[in-house]
Structure 1
Amino acid sequence: MEHKILGVIGGMGPKATSVFFDKVVEKTEAHKDQDHIDMVILNHATIPDRTSVILEKNEKMFITAIKKDIELLEAAKVDHIAIPCNTSHYFYEDLQKMTDIDIIHMVDETVKKIVETYGANCKVGIMATSGTISSGIYDKSATKFNIDLSVPNQTLQDQIMKIIYNDIKNDLTADTNEIEAIIHDFIFKQNCSCVILACTEFSCIKLSEEIQSYCIDAMDVLVERSIELSGKQLKSLQQNKSNAAII
């Protein structure tokens, strides 16, 4: 396959963008610099908060801000665009209308991965921002691909938002025991097949291998699809584990 340039609209948040880049490098089958993907990364950290603009119905503010990023990536002649932010995909149709460059649909790709792994009609939990939950983007995709999405109650959602905004976004720390307890509840009390980590901030936190086995990380799905669409090969699972052990 022809090697293609990947454009990334990042900054949502900045740490999640750096994690996305690191994961692309780590998961690409490469033996020298030239084997890696050519990427243009825009770390647009000052872009309006996605949850706020959705809940306050001020969507135009976000769309106006991101339009300049798309124009920059068009000028750079990228072949695909990845946006490592689940909540931003509420605006997916509006963003795709702005450009002929294909924007990778992080949400749809994640749900397709779940169907491939667990089959249709499976029950799946979700941990995401209130913007992602209220927007219904995962509900829409779950309906399209025929899976049963289990959304947190308000008390649990408030706890998840605290973890995302007060802990991870604020100072890049979080109580992993608290996160893992929520995932454990989804799997063993709500009988979910897996839990979607549907906020890229969760990708910045190291969870236990056991808990990771119950999760589908939307960031990882976006990383893998970005590599494939760029004409590169994914590194084998065993190689990834070996690299992780070395790090």
Structure 2
Amino acid sequence: MSLILGVLGGMGPAATLDFLGRLQAYTPAAKDQDHIRVLMDLNPQVPDRNTPGAGAGPVLAEMAGGLAGGGAEVLAMPCNTAHAHADLIIRASGLPLIDMIGGAAKAAADTGARRVGVLGTKGALRLYREYLAARGLGLVSLEATRQEAFMALLYRIKAGDLSAEARTEMASLAHDLVADGAETLIAGCTEAPLVLAPRDIQVPLIDAGDLLARRCVAVCLEHEPPPQV
């Protein structure tokens, strides 16, 4: 038996489906019954996490409570920015939430880097700055106009643009962070890895969503304990 995983998804849908594919791929299974049971709330109607006061928190709390009521025993949320509402989600559900931001920050520290570049929204950058600082690491972020370019590209990816042009633009943004001193990069937005691969840059690339999928497998199969509530 394995723990039942509840996933708060839809932010955005393509990134959530990518996460589910990784979850399935990383589960050691010889037959259907060896896989993890997943309860999914793929809700693209969650208010924009990048708009202050939009009301994403209460919606996420309601989703979490619904997953708990359906039988979920541990939660995951493949959206970096939405982790600003982690405490509310945990309180509403009474369930542990596997920490996407913390997992990526630890992986960055494990590379030996002292300065870590993050491709993410402003909200995600605030979270990563705190987590990295707690480990004695500095955050490297894009300058203002390039951050605006990243956000414009992010919304294009959400709209389905996975073109060669989008890949080139994301790689260029990543190169900016390396040029500014980043020794490791975190793809701190789940859309970024849809158009960015480790081969595109010359420093280690940490995919926060990929790490989350791997940890979900480990927790649900009880290879490691779930987080404390």
Letter in 1 for 2:11: M
Which of residues 123, 127, 142 is equivalent to 1:131?
Answer: 123
Gaps of 5+ in 1: 234-247
Structure 2: distance between partners of 1:62 and 1:179: 27
Which of residues 156, 159, 162 is equivalent to 2:152?
Answer: 162
> Deviation at 1:158?
0.7
Which of residues 165, 169, 186 is equivalent to 1:178?
Answer: 169
Give matches, 1:1-247, under 5 Å: 3-52=2-51, 54=52, 58=53, 61-118=55-112, 122-133=114-125, 136-165=126-155, 167-174=156-163, 175-187=166-178, 189-205=179-195, 207=197, 209-211=199-201, 214-231=204-221
Matched residue of 2:117: which SS? strand
> Deviation at 1:23?
0.7
> Deviation at 1:143?
1.3
> Deviation at 1:97?
2.0
Q: Is the 8 A contact 1:197 1:218 kept in 2?
A: yes
Identity %: 28
Structure 2: distance between partners of 1:150 and 1:71: 36
> Deviation at 1:70?
1.3
Q: Is the 8 A contact 1:12 1:85 kept in 2?
A: yes
Structure 2: distance between partners of 1:79 and 1:201: 27
Q: Is the 8 A contact 1:51 1:132 kept in 2?
A: no
> Deviation at 1:232?
6.5
Structure 2: distance between partners of 1:30 and 1:110: 26
> Deviation at 1:206?
5.2
Q: Is the 8 A contact 1:19 1:203 kept in 2?
A: no
RMSD after superposition: 1.9
> Deviation at 1:82?
0.4
Structure 2: distance between partners of 1:232 and 1:156: 42
Residues 2-45 of structure 1, C-alpha deviation per residue, up to 9 Å, x if partnerless? 51111100000011110010011112222221221110111011
Matched residue of 1:103: which SS? coil
Letter in 2 for 1:112: K
Q: Is the 8 A contact 1:28 1:232 kept in 2?
A: no
> Deviation at 1:103?
0.7
Distance of aligned partners of 1:183 and 1:35 in 2 relative to their CA distance in 1, 3 Å threshold: same
Gaps of 5+ in 2: 224-229
Q: Is the 8 A contact 2:61 2:93 kept in 1?
A: no
Structure 1: distance between partners of 2:81 and 2:45: 16
